Structures are given as structure tokens and as C-alpha cells.
Structure 1
Amino acid sequence: MLTRFVTKRSPMSTKHAFHAGERKIHQAFGIEQQMQDIGSRVIRDFMPQQHSDFYQQLPFILLGHVDVRGRPWASMLTGQKNGQFIFAPDNKHLDIEASAIAGDELQYLDVGQRVGMLGIELHTKRRNRLVAELQRDSGWQWAFSVIQSFGNCPKYIQLRELSWIPTTERQPIRKQAIKQLDKASKALIRQADTFFVASYFVDEQQLDLASNGADVSHRGGEPGFVEVADSGLLTIPDYAGNHMFSTLGNIESNGKAGLLFVDFENGHLLSMTGKAWVNWQTPQPEQYPAAERLWHFQPSQGYWLYNALPFRFSRS
């Protein structure tokens, strides 16, 4: 049975800022010591004040989590217009007042489970990430304790402005399960310039490692940067980044990922989980400009959440 990151009640081990899957990649590129030095400085077990302030002003937040079958999912929690919904009582805790979107896998999250969190502002290109443990869940009040906190650069974030939809104009949320990508799914992915990816790592022998847990990350590029085969296989270019290799390190360890695509104009969400693997060979530049490598995703389960968001986005 998969251990869903329900942690032991002992002090977190912080010997390594990165887990074995990430360090294996660092070793292959000859940057292990460099990244360990960087990680010890930028990956903290608390939120700096500017991060605490940042999360509390967000209208939505992304979460990466794992279901009982060991499948990762990326989900979104949203607030309401003119109302704060994320609170930081101190630099080690985040409280969220929101319900999971109807039909989303996040509704099955367990107390004690570790999740990845991504706070992102599309109109400023700011983003910060957390690994946190769910301490309390009342159905609409979530209390998390911070395990790891770090910032991300603004690379590849597409500028967008958010506008709220009046309550009277919102349509009921509707869920449609899919086993494979349908015509609408392929169309959304082929024109997307943004998606979010969930992944995870767990060392069953050392459950107290701070580097254990789920993660959720942003991926962006020019519209159409994700290639969709007729079979539903996705090919994603991987561009130069911070060399942490959080997502790819997780994928290398277990071959799984969960992807979330947002229909920014209509407020729909497309969520999928499935197999993932990395092709470390440098791709042809004429086919994948600026890509350093490719990774692939084959969905095995997914769903649409129509009318899921209380806001819309327009390109800046």
C-alpha cells in the first residue's frame, strides 16, 4: 500500500534539501554540490514574510496531491470576490477557507497527508511554492503546516488579468469523466500556453524526510508548445530553469504525473493523471526551439470540470 506522506511525529530530517531522485539528476549534470549549497539557502522550513504576505493576497492556489491508488493530481482552490481566503497565522502555517471544487479529487485529501502548493499571480508573474502537511479539514477550512518553502523565478509565465464573474451569472459545475483525450481535450491542449503538473516522491524507509511529498509546478510556453498525438500522448519541451529538477526528479522515481489545463476564457478545468517519462536527449532545435529535453505524458484517467472557476482570465 502506498504511504500517502502521513508523517511520523518526529523532527524533520533536513540533511538533504533534495530527495534521491533529484540528486541523481544533479549528479548526472555535475551540479550536486552546487545545488545542495543553493538548496540549503533557498529552501526553508518556514515562510519568509514576503511569501506569507503573497499567499494571503491570492484569489486561487494550486495543490498537488496523491490519491489512495498512488495517482498524482493537480487541483485548484479558489476564493470569492473581495474576500481573503488564505491566512498565515505565523510563518509555519497556512489556513485556507474554501471547499474543494465539486467533483475534484481534492475532496478526498486525508489529514496528515503532504501536498505541494503553488501560489502564482499571472498578472505579476510572481510565484512561490510550498510542501505542507494537512493538519485539519472541516470540509471548508483547511489548516496546513509548512515543511518546505521556496520561491520560483517568473520564467515562462504568460501575463493574464483576472476578472470575477457575478454570482448571478455563474453556471452549475458539471463533471465529465474521460478515459482518453476527446476532441475538446485535444483542442484545449493544442492551443494552451500554460498548464500545471503534479508529481511526488516518497522514501518508504525514511518517512520523516523533508524532501518527501507531493509537488505542483507551472509549465508555460508559446501557444501550442505541448504536442498532442492522435493517441493522446503528450510531448512537453523542458526549458532551462532553476536546475532543481523537482518535477523531473519525481517522474524519474515513479513514472507518474498529474496535469491540469485551464480554459481561461470559459472557466473550465481539464484534470488528468497518468504515466510520465523523460527523454534526456537534446531534441532537434528546429522542432522544439530552446528545449533542453523532452518529457512525455500518457493519460490513464481524467475529467472535465465545466464552469469550475468563479473568474475568467484575459491575456495582457
Structure 2
Amino acid sequence: MTTAYHHGSLAVQARLGVQQAAAHIAPSINPGIRPVAAAFLEAQPMLVLGAAAPDGRVWASLLTGEPGFARATGPHTVSVAGGLAPHDPLAEASAAGTTVGTIALDPRTRRRMRLNGTARPSARGLLIEAEQVFANCPKYLQKRELYGSDPAGPGTAAPRTGDALTEAQLAAVRAADTFFVATTGPDGADASHRGGNPGFVHAEGPRELLWRDYPGNAMFLTLGNLETDGRAGLLFLDWESGTTLQLSGRAKTVYHLEERFVRFRVDSVVETPAASPLRWSAPAYSPANPTTP
């Protein structure tokens, strides 16, 4: 038995009969940042960070900057320039220091890397001490080209907050082909990616979302965390305008025949117009995406 996974992930792996596959891939989870991982990270203009805020709610937040704004400064440390915006739901968490999960995703090359550890404030912004570093396959990752950054930078409009999705926000969720999910568990926080053709996220109402959990790498880090702690945060990004939609709530895995689904109940909503200055092209959908009904 491998010790790379906590009991929640091991329980999901056992339920689905993938213990051997999960054990085989476990050595890819590294405690440090290898040179290839450091080079990939330094080339990225964005980083998603997931954590629990001081009030206990879990969120996923977007950080952006010129390539190099997030860079490895040693085999176990990452420096992130600027940190989170003052109005971000995780701003206080990062100031106090907390366990975090991050994912660096490059739509241009359909590559992604996850790095989990502990964040604390630094003179540059944030310093993350890495504990788990690993890459994921390109499944369900849409290809996009980066047009550049808005010279005006991130927008200054105040975030719109609420406890349920508006009709416009529901439409954005239904049209999404990508979102990020943050969870927490016995080993700390984790940030991951979910992708599919538009419509793969079902908005069943202003506070109820549902998506099918597509086959992946057999690790089940996200579902494993949800076995032990139902709190979760979602981040939807409008790739063309830079608007972010952050949701915090609770999630539960539903198993049905040979498929599994995640049901998410919204507790809090934060929409920030033009939060990201990055402007991306329309997507070329992943050939791995299942057909949506």
C-alpha cells in the first residue's frame, strides 16, 4: 500500500477498483520542485490557488502576472509576485499563512502542474513551501492561444457578491468548458482542473450544480478530499474578458452504475469583472471530451 494518499483517496480508489493503478502513479508525486517543473512554472502567466479562508469557506482564486511572476526559488519554495488582490476571498488567508493547493495550467501547450504546500506572506507577495509537486495528463484540457494582456491591467470594478447565482451567472456556468476546483483534506489543500464540452456543468438552479466526474489518472485527490471534507470552491474564468466567477459551497460525490457525479451546493458567490488582464482565444476542444447531452 502506498502512503502517497490519505484514507479518503484510498477509499475512493478501493470503491472503484483502481488501487493498483493509483499505486503505480504514486511515485510521480514529488516532495520537491524538479528543474523541469521549475521551468514550466516560470513560463506561466497565471496560477490558480485553492485554500480555506479564515471563516472556513473554501475558495479557488486566480493570480496572474508576466511570466516569472511565479517562480521556484529553491527545491522546495515558490515565490509569487504581488499575491492576491485585497478584495479576494482568500486575501486574509494568504496573509495569515495557510495550507494551499495550486495548479499552473498552460492552455497553449495543454500541460498542467499541481503544487501543494503552505503559503505565507513575503516581501515579494507570497512564498509557498512545496510538499507535493506533480504533473497531470492533458485530458479534457482545451487548447487556447494567448493574445496578450490588457495594458490597463486588471479591472477596478468592485466584486459582485451573493449567496446564489444570477441568471447571467447561470448562463456563464452552462457555457463553460473549464473550471477549477479547490478542496481540503487531511493532507492539506488541493487545486485541480475540470474540463469538457460546453454544457458539461449542469446548472440545475441558482444554488445547485452537477457535473460528471470523467475518468482520469486514478489518484482521486479531489474526490478523496470530498470523502473527508465536503467544503469546496469553484473558479470559472471568462477567457476573453478576464471576468472571474468564484463559488464556495459544499460538494458530494454521487455514484450511479458505472458513472460518478459531483453535486455542488452554492453558499457564496463572488464575480469580479476583468479580474484577469489576460486575453485568450476561443478554444480548440480536447479530443478526450465526452459528448455532452
* TM-score greater than 0.5 by the shorter chain: yes
**Alignment correspondent of 1:10:** none
Which position in structure 2 is the counterpart of 1:239?
214
AA matched with 1:141: G
Aligned to 1:53: 39
**Do structure 1's residue 123 and structure 2's residue 90 form an aligned pair?**
no
Change (3 A) 1:17 1:180: same
Name 2:287's counterpart in structure 1: none
Aligned match of 1:300: 267
Hey, what's the Cα distance between the residues in 2 that align with 1:200 and 1:250?
A: 6
In structure 2, what is the equivalent of residue 200 of structure 1?
184
For residues 129 and 12 of structure 2, the distance between their equivalents in structure 1, rounded to whole angstroms, comes to 29
Aligned counterpart for 1:74 among listed residues 31, 52, 60: 60
Letter in 2 for 1:52: A
In the alignment, the residues of structure 2 paired with residue 163 and residue 91 of structure 1 have an alpha-carbon distance, to the nearest angstrom, of 32
Aligned ranges for residues 170-189 of structure 1 at < 5 Å? Answer: 171-189=155-173
Q: CA deviation at 1:153?
A: 0.2
Equivalenced residue count is 282
Partner in structure 1 of residue 237 of structure 2: 262
Q: CA RMSD in A?
A: 1.9
Instruction: Quickly say closer, same or farther: Cα 1:116–1:170, change in 2 above 3 A.
Output: closer
Post-superposition shift, 1:27? 1.8
Structure 1 pair 32/307, CA: closer, same or farther in 2 (3 Å)? same
Q: Which stretch has the larger CA shift, 272-281 or 68-77?
A: 68-77
User: Conserved in 2, the CA contact under 8 Å of 1:162 and 1:312?
Assistant: yes
Q: Secondary structure at the match of 2:251?
A: strand
Q: Unpaired segments of 5 or more residues in structure 2?
A: 284-293
Return the offset for 1:107: 1.0
Deviations 1:151-185 (A, max 9, x none): 10000001111223342486423211111010111
Partner of 2:7: 20
**Structure 1 27/169 Cα, relative in aligned 2: closer, same or farther at 3 Å?**
closer
**Secondary structure of the equivalent of 1:105?**
coil
Deviation at residue 244 of structure 1 after TM alignment? 0.6
For residues 271 and 45 of structure 1, the distance between their equivalents in structure 2, rounded to whole angstroms, comes to 29
Contact (CA 8 Å) 1:16, 1:36: kept in 2 or not? no
- Quote how far apart the aligned CAs of 1:282 are: 3.2
Query: Are 1:156 and 1:219, in contact at CA under 8 Å, matched by a contact in 2?
Result: yes
56-65 or 160-169, which deviates more: 160-169
Q: 1:72 to 1:218 in 2, by over 3 A?
A: same
Question: Does the CA contact (< 8 Å) of 1:262 and 1:270 recur in 2?
Answer: yes
Structure whose alpha-carbon radius of gyration is higher: 1
CA shift for structure 1 position 34: 4.2
1:187 CA drift (Å): 0.8
Cα distance in 2 between the residues matched to 1:162 and 1:306: 19
Q: Give the distance between the partners of 1:87 and 1:312, measured in 2 at CA.
A: 22
CA distance in 2, matches of 1:107, 1:169: 19
Aligned letter for 2:47? I
Counterpart in the other structure of 1:32: 19
Amino acid at match of 1:299: V
Residue 98 in structure 1 maps to residue 110 in structure 2: no
2:257 maps to: 282
Change (3 A) 1:106 1:163: farther
Residue 113 (1) aligns with residue 98 (2): yes
Q: Percent identity?
A: 34
Q: Name the stretch that deviates more: 143-152 or 25-34.
A: 25-34
Is the alpha carbon distance of 1:159 and 1:33 closer, same or farther for their aligned partners in structure 2, counting shifts above 3 Å? closer
The code of the aligned residue for 2:139 comes to K
Distance across 1 between alignment mates of 2:161 and 2:218: 35
What is the SS of the residue equivalent to 1:50? Answer: helix
* Cα shift at 1:215: 0.5
DSSP-derived class of the 1:229 partner:
strand
**Distance in 1 between the 2:135 and 2:154 partners?**
34
Unaligned runs of 5+ in 1: 1-14, 203-211, 284-291
Preserved CA contact (<8 Å) 2:51 2:60:
yes
TM-score between both structures, scaled by the size of structure 2 = 0.90
Deviation at 1:231, TM superposition (A): 4.3
CA 1:182–1:51: 2 relative to 1, 3 Å: same
Partner of 1:310: 277
Counterparts of 1:170 and 1:46, CA distance in 2? 32
CA change 1:170–1:26 in 2 (3 A) is closer
Q: Tell me how far apart the structure 2 counterparts of residues 162 and 315 of structure 1 sit (CA, whole Å).
A: 10
